[in-house]
């Protein structure tokens, strides 16, 4: 844990107050106020390198300069300091703006799939460094680094039975046909965009937080927005107007939802087993 004195040295200001932002399952989050009239968010208590990886993700999302992301102030293994954003009510046409900006984010392309370093999806390590053809084949990257990785974790955790195994192996066999025709260049992805990972800024504008960044297929990012809701038809219509999706994306959506459902199975337990089975049965 970083001390008050160390934080003051980093910020170059005297801290006048701390206030809790509510306990999370991953890190302790506090707002700090300074004598210079500025406020910051400090996160502490995460995994050994979690804050370093989060800082890298926030900086990557800021590169296209198309959607607001909290500015990174300082970070180390033990802490992350970012700007405090005073959230206000949503601006008019919030979701239309959000959909447009999210589409523009996805127009920011990388040279290969994955990312320079592994990071986290929740508490789960997320492998991003591609090997061989994974760098240039979304099929291989997604199969190995996303689906098979989570399946192996589920097997280790005791969630894989005969039915689960049969459905998963059948899906892996069909994956080339399922994804055929959807190929695109690697897009910059938030990686974990659900209703709890966006907020509004001081002007009511969209702000995205808590990323699990990598370069991948944008349909994977959009699928995650469907898992728990929190996005309107205006969001999707605006997105598709700005950066139209290829035919068949609704059919492929379950493939991308599966990654996150498997992750929730591994994080939170058997309550997600039936949902994983149901998603795999779509392609059986």
Q: How far out from the chain centre does Cα 253 lie?
A: 16
With beta carbons less than 8 A apart as the criterion, state whether 93 and 79 touch. Answer: no
CA of 194: how far to CAs of 27, 146, 257, in Å?
Answer: 18, 18, 12
> From CA 84, how far away is CA 69, in angstroms rounded?
11
- Going through the chain in order, the beta strands assigned E by DSSP cover 15-23, 28-34, 39-44, 72-76, 79-83, 119-121, 124-126, 187-189, 198-200, 206-208, 214-216
Compute the chain's Rg from CA coordinates: 20
Catalytic choice (33, 161, 192, 210)? 192
> From CA 130, how far away is CA 177, in angstroms rounded?
22
192 is an active site residue = yes
CA of 167: how far to CAs of 6, 156, 164, 253, in Å?
Answer: 53, 17, 5, 17
Question: Going by C-beta distance under 8 Å and a sequence separation of 6 or more, which residues neighbour residue 204?
Answer: 88, 89, 90, 91, 94
Residues involved in catalysis: 192
């Amino acid at each position: 844990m970083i001390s008050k004195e160390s934080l003051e040295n980093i910020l170059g200001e005297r801290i006048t107050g701390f206030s809790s932002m509510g306990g999370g399952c991953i890190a302790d989050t506090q707002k700090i106020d300074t004598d210079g009239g500025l406020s910051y968010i400090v996160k502490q208590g995460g995994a050994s390198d979690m804050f370093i990886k989060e800082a890298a993700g926030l900086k990557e999302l800021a590169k296209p300069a198309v959607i607001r992301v909290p500015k990174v102030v300082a970070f180390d293994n033990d802490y992350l300091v970012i700007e405090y954003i005073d959230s206000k009510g949503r601006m008019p046409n919030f979701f239309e703006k959000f959909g447009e900006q999210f589409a523009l984010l996805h127009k920011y392309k990388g040279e290969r799939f994955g990312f320079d370093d592994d990071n986290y999806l929740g508490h789960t390590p997320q492998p991003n460094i591609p090997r061989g053809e994974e760098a240039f084949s979304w099929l291989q990257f997604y199969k190995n680094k996303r689906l098979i990785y989570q399946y192996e974790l589920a097997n280790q955790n005791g969630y894989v039975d005969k039915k689960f195994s049969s459905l998963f192996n059948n899906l892996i066999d069909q994956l080339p046909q399922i994804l055929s025709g959807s190929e695109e260049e690697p897009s910059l992805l938030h990686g974990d965009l659900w209703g709890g990972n966006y907020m509004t800024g001081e002007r009511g504008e969209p702000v995205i937080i808590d990323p699990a960044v990598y370069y991948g297929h944008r349909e994977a990012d959009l699928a995650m927005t469907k898992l728990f809701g929190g996005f309107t038809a205006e969001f999707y219509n605006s997105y598709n107007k700005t950066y139209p999706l290829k035919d068949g994306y609704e059919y492929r959506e379950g493939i991308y939802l599966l990654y996150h459902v498997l992750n929730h199975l591994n994080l939170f337990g058997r309550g997600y087993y039936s949902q994983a089975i149901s998603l795999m049965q779509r392609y059986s």
